[in-house]
A and B are shown apart, each in its own frame.
Chain A
């Protein structure tokens, strides 16, 4: 950690303790569910981000990590967490029960794509249609880019996604789907472009074993959501903290490490295309 960041941290901490001494610190923990929509196994980074949020919110913050989207969805529905960073697909599914908190900016835009990746030595594949009869890795059944997109593409061509591949399996995370292709276990996988790009920065040796064969259109970036019962004050505070991350040095550093440019409030319309695809494929 650069020295000046440490200094800033110390200064902020001193300021916060003064504030705490004056106003008192609210003890109710804010729970945020994290999903494999991003590189959720960077535990050190997550811990640092959590500390940052605690400091900013002046509240204890707990990150609740679940591998499967479904689990996170359950946590939200059962109101066991206040906020969650989920994929666009679950968001669309639970739209009515959730409030859109913020959308991260991926390379300046609140969007991402689905990458169709194949082993690096496979130089022929141009689209998912070339992978008929192969072994294919899906990320999660509630993933847009890792499940909905490839199946949508197959369905569009008139084939049946259920029998198109010889064998399919779920890795329950985009990161592991990349691993599956890199290891040669699967001959193809559909992954979150943001995860692939982030991994490409951290572990280029793994991404080098894969090749992006096809890129989808853009979809709304996995949103941060709040369950409907979260008080407005908490909602707005959280939103404010996230959106202001880019305005302080530590926040910018964390964003850089998350491979993000910032957070915006976003709008539900960002996810209309996903909803449309879901309808077209008959899942909504």
Chain B
């Protein structure tokens, strides 16, 4: 039998479609909604669902909740940091920056934890149906990236299920809504789950369901609402009793349970009474409790910005579909939090219509998955699901930028070919980085009358910006200059030209200059400009603020055979593309390059500029030979850590072959998975598994898989750290030219 499983952040659900009917399957206690919570008891027993959830209060450290939030993410990502802040269980770093959870003596990969939930759903289905269940359609948030999808698929395999298809949650919901009803409607599916938000616009026909666009936020959901309530309670308690409940795992768990309960109460009542007895002790040993009332209005104020964030995503989805809310026939609500009157009212207001009432927001996704599962195994009449890819796929090019190959909201399945060339003579290998996501970076070049170039990079979505000055003339850092100022003042007789610039490592830190010391610096600039003939290495200086985290992994693929040289296509290298990207109209400028090196700056302090003083960056070749000889250019690293609002994270995975994604990316390889599948049959075995059993050591990949084509060593799949300046490449002009 093939079932449909909604693997949710907070709750999971399993359903089956047979004999023309769709049934949601309940467990032995009659519960059809299973909390996605796993508890690990001291004796090795593992519990999933309501029983596990009830343990959370007494044993928070060994109870894993909301594992889906960590699915397919990297340890250094913003999302994992956030999760660490609110989790009562231990989140640790695994090999290759993977995320692991540590419970008792074992370390588990996230797909393993999710596999335990899936296995529970499988068992519930088997008990309800009285026969083995081996196949399933598992749903994922539409906005999940490739990493997260792979991890979900792995979880299914570990749980002993053949995952027939990963179906997008909103698509599943639309299928359940429209199946067999002969509708012709254009609807929005507003899917606010425990941890993720998706919006999809679909056209529903009698037998064809076409997704017109989909957008989302994989770190926005009901759990965030709970967190706001927890914060509100904890802040209030801190103010009253000077005790921070956040530092007490048990108290935090009680707050969590109370916050969730209050949220649910507010779905029905106008006010929730939050009472937690004995949540802490006062200095004298007396018992302290929480006793607060939370009104709908107060709750609305606590989470209002989160709700507004969902509508920003809706705007984007409508825009991508070239539609307005008036073009829609209705809106379907999916996910527990959409039961909140606050959400219902905001949604009705935004979409200018009442949400469809005939849909159960907790079960509709599993039902849709079940319909599709039945269709895939040929049990049921079939509907054609035409989905789209939620995220653009881009390829990194020289200079740290990326060129789009497949735009988001392109119908799938799709295949696109792009042609690239090497960028150096005698280049024998190519490093290909694949990015998924939508981060865009605006790069602005400015040049002042002193010929100082200022480069500003800005993320237009968040306004986050960083800038740096390029001193191609001197290549001295601020510290070096300060040191020189000191020296200069100490030995007024000596000229700067007689001294080599001190290397940065040995440069003592100079005493801070007075606020008006800038004048001194300017004066010195000219002198130090003449120092030495060697270009000074300014190093890989990063733009402050744009990157918050460790650099993306750059695992050098072991080159075998005759390849003895490897170039990183994203070396501190050409900024030409960036320059072209913001190039104002430069007549016939294409192909013309003016070396903009230190000599040029010295010889011509007034740079090439347009008649009205406008700097034409396309004439600059800021590219410097980035080799051992030291770089005169400066790398502007735009591997930006994106904002929470933007879907992208610094996730990275590797893939091999002609664009085929490497299943090893989730650091579970075939053999590991198989062993996990075996192990998963025995619940306690998971505990005994050595942590490294699920990790494939680098370099042990099958050689055949690692070397697909002569020139392709290695394909890295990034989740969006790059920028989307690709459209500038063709003509070196901004995309729409609405200047």
Q: Does A associate with B in a complex? A: no
Residues of B near any A CB (own CB < 8 A): none
Residues of A near any B CB (own CB < 8 A): none
